[in-house]
Amino acid sequence: MAKLLDLLTRNSTPEARLSWPHITADDTLWQDLTEQLREGAVTLLGLWGDNRESGAVVRVAVVDEARRIGAVVTHECPGGQYPALSKAHPPAMRLERTVHDLFGLLPIGLPDTRPWLDHGMWPVRHPLGDRTPSPGSAPPYPFLGAQGEGLHQIPVGPVHAGVIEPGHFRFTAGGETVVRLEERLGYTHKGVEGLMIGADLKRAAQLAGRVSGDSTVAYALAFSRAVEAVHDVTVPARAVWLRALMAELERLANHFGDIGAICNDAAFALMHAHCGVLRERVLRTAMNCFGHRLMMDRIIPGGVANDLSGDGEVALSGLLAEIRRGFPALVELYDNTASLQDRTVGTGIVDPALARQYGCGGFIGRASGRSFDTRRVLPYPPYDELRFEIPVLSDGDVNARVWIRIREVEQSLSLIDQILERLPSGPVRVEPSRARAGEAIALVEGFRGDILVWVSLDGQGLVRRCHLRDPSWFQWPLLEAAIDGNIVADFPLCNKSFNCSYSGHDL
C-alpha cells in the first residue's frame, strides 16, 4: 500500500503542485496518516465530518510544508466509527470531539470523550447527523484536576467584563502561580455549517463573511476561492489585486488594535489610544474606498462587489503616509518603556516544538519560530507576484508576539504600495457560466493565520456542505500551555497577545 506522502507526490506535478488531491484512505493508509502526523512529516490543517449517499465520512486536510503540497484525505465510517487520530496526535482532539458533537461519528481511541461544542442546550443531539432528541438537561462538565498541596481553583467566565465574547477559563493555582488552565468554549456556536447547507452562493458567502467579523475579508476570500475552483472561474485581474488590498487593510486594522490592546492590558493606555487612532484611520479609509468599514460582503465568488472608489487611491496614499509618520514613534515608545518590557518579556512563552506540533499559524506561530504563511508556502494570486518577508522570532513570549505584529504592519505597508503601483484596470467580477457540482478547498492567510474553507456544491447552485476552520482551533490549546507557571494576573495579557477568536472557533 502506497504511503500518504507518496500519494501526495504522485498526485502533484511541479506545475500544479498547489492543487489539492483528494485521497480515500483505507485503514492502512489512515494509520500511515496517523504516524505521519505524529512524526511531524505532515501538518494537520483541519478535520470535519460529511454525509454522502454511501454513508458518513470523516475528512482531514493536511499539508507537507517542505514540499508545499496539500491534500484532503477521506475515511469512511462504517457503523459511525473511525480510528481516532488524536490518540497519537493531540491537536486533532478538539476537532474529533466536535465531529462527534455535530455528526455523532465516534473516534475509536479518543483520549477525551467529553463534549466540546455541545453544552446540552441544543434541541437535538448530532444536528448534522442523526438529529436524535436531546435529553433536555446539560450534564455536569468535569474539568480536569490537579494534585498538590494548597492548590485552589479560580473560575473565570463565560461572561466577562466589557464587550468580550464568552468563554470559560478554569484556573488551578498555587498561590498566584498557575499550574493548570483549562478552557471551555462553544458558547458562541451559531450553527453556521448547518445554515450553509442548501444556501445559494450569495447567502453562503454572506455567512462565511460573518464567521468572525474581524476576519470577514479573509473568510470571504477563502470561500470565494473554493467556489471558484469548483466552477473553474478565472477572476478578473483587477479584482484579484483589490482582494489583496482589502486583505492587507484588514491585517493593518487588526494589528493596530491588538498592539494597543496588549499595551493597555499592561496598564500603558497611551499606546492604546494612539494605536486606536491608527486603527480608526484604516477603517475610515476602507469605508471611503469600498463602502464598508470592515469591507464585509465586498469579496464575492467571481470577484468583488464594487470597485475602488474614485478617490480611493488618494485616500490610501494619505493613509500610508500618516502611518509612516506616526507608527515608528509608537514602536520606539513601546521598545523604550521599561514598565511595558517588564510585563511582556518572558511572559506567556509558547514552546516552538508545540507551535510546530499544533501547526500554529499567524503571529503566534511566527513568534515561536514557525515560519508558515500561506501567502508564501501555498501562494495564491497576487501574492505569488509580490515581494514581502515573513518575520519570525523564536522567543515565543508576549513581547515576540507584539514584535511580529509590528513587522507585519511594515510588510503590509510595502504590499499596499506594490498593489497600488501595479493595480490593473478592467472589470471587477465575472459570473459563473453555469452551476457545477464538485468540491474544492482554499487556504487564505488572515491576520490571525491560515483560514481553511472546504466546500461541496450540488450542481444546482446550492451548497451541499461547507466546512470553515479558523486558525484559533490550533491556537487556543497553546494558550493553556503558555500561561503555565505564570501568575494569574498575567493571563489577560497573555490572552490578549493571542487574541484568538471565540466566534471563529465556535462556528
Model confidence pLDDT, tens digit, residues 268-278:
999 999 999 99
Q: Kindly tell me if the per-residue pLDDT of 135 is higher than 90.
A: no
Quickly state the pLDDT bin for 3 (edges 50, 70, 90). Answer: confident
84 and 215 in a single domain? The answer is no
pLDDT of residue 52: 84
Quickly state the pLDDT bin for 334 (edges 50, 70, 90). Answer: very high
What's the CATH number where 393 sits?
1.10.645.10
| 402 to 259, 364, 405, 437, 499: CA distances (angstroms) | 6, 10, 5, 44, 11
Structural domain total, the chain: 2
Least confident stretch, 7-21, 240-254, 407-421, 476-490: 7-21
Quickly state the pLDDT bin for 304 (edges 50, 70, 90). Answer: very high
Residue at 137 is within a domain: no
200 and 100 in a single domain? The answer is no
Residue at 170 is within a domain: no
Q: Mean pLDDT over residues 286-304, rounded?
A: 97
| 338 to 212, 327, 332, 342, 496: CA distances (angstroms) | 35, 19, 12, 6, 20
pLDDT of residue 148: 82
| 96 to 85, 191, 489: CA distances (angstroms) | 8, 17, 32
Q: Kindly tell me if the per-residue pLDDT of 221 is higher than 80.
A: yes
Evaluate the CA torsion angle 97, 98, 104, 106 in order and state its sign.
negative
Residue at 498 is within a domain: yes
334 and 201 in a single domain? The answer is yes
pLDDT of residue 54: 79
Q: Mean pLDDT over residues 68-95, rounded?
A: 95
The residue range of the domain holding 68 is 4-127
Name the phi and psi angles at 431, rounded to 5: -90, 140
pLDDT of residue 314: 96
- pTM of the predicted protein model: 0.95
224 and 122 in a single domain? The answer is no
435 and 308 in a single domain? The answer is yes
CB 104 within 8 A of CB 130: yes
Other residues' Cβ atoms within 10 Å of the Cβ of residue 433: 9
Q: What does the buried/exposed string (b/e) look like for 234-267 if buried means 16 or more CB atoms within 10 Å of the residue's CB?
A: ebbbbbbbbbbbbbbbbbbbbbbbbbbbbbbbbe
The angle at the Cα of 311, spanning 307 to 317, to the nearest 5 degrees, equals 105
259 and 406 in a single domain? The answer is yes
Residue at 472 is within a domain: yes
Quickly state the pLDDT bin for 15 (edges 50, 70, 90). Answer: very low
Q: Kindly tell me if the per-residue pLDDT of 364 is higher than 90.
A: yes
211 and 332 in a single domain? The answer is yes
Q: Mean pLDDT over residues 233-245, rounded?
A: 97
CB 445 within 8 A of CB 374: yes
Residue at 63 is within a domain: yes
Query: Between residues 76 and 21, which one has the greater pLDDT?
Result: 76
**426-429 contacts at long range (C-beta below 8 A, 24 or more positions apart):** 426/236, 426/237, 426/238, 427/236, 427/238, 427/239, 427/303, 428/236, 428/238, 428/239, 428/242, 428/303, 428/304, 428/306, 428/307, 429/235, 429/236, 429/239, 429/300, 429/302, 429/303, 429/304, 429/305
123 and 200 in a single domain? The answer is no
Residue at 210 is within a domain: yes
Q: Dig out the grid coordinates for 368 from the structure.
A: 515561536
Residue at 133 is within a domain: no
Closest Cα to residue 47, out of 97, 87, 11, 81?
Answer: 97
Which residues does 129 contact at the CB level (< 8 Å), separation at least 6? 49, 51, 56, 80, 102, 103, 104, 105
- Cα–Cα distance between 236 and 254 in angstroms, integer? 28
Residue at 168 is within a domain: no
Query: Between residues 434 and 506, which one has the greater pLDDT?
Result: 506
Quickly state the pLDDT bin for 489 (edges 50, 70, 90). Answer: very high
107 and 250 in a single domain? The answer is no
Quickly state the pLDDT bin for 53 (edges 50, 70, 90). Answer: confident
Where a domain ends, among 80, 108, 127? 127
For the stretch 166-208, pLDDT in tens is 999 999 999 999 999 999 999 999 999 999 999 999 999 999 9
Other residues' Cβ atoms within 10 Å of the Cβ of residue 26: 10
For the stretch 445-466, pLDDT in tens is 999 999 999 999 998 889 999 9
Q: Mean pLDDT over residues 484-490, rounded?
A: 94
- The length of the chain in residues reads 507
Q: Kindly tell me if the per-residue pLDDT of 85 is higher than 90.
A: yes
pLDDT of residue 11: 55
233 and 320 in a single domain? The answer is yes
Where a domain ends, among 101, 127, 153? 127
98 and 204 in a single domain? The answer is no
Q: Give the percent of the chain with pLDDT over 70.
A: 97
pLDDT of residue 14: 38
Q: Dig out the grid coordinates for 479 from the structure.
A: 494558550
Q: Dig out the grid coordinates for 384 from the structure.
A: 505569488
76 and 206 in a single domain? The answer is no
Q: What is the mean pLDDT of the chain?
A: 93
pLDDT of residue 110: 95
What's the CATH number where 27 sits?
3.30.460.80
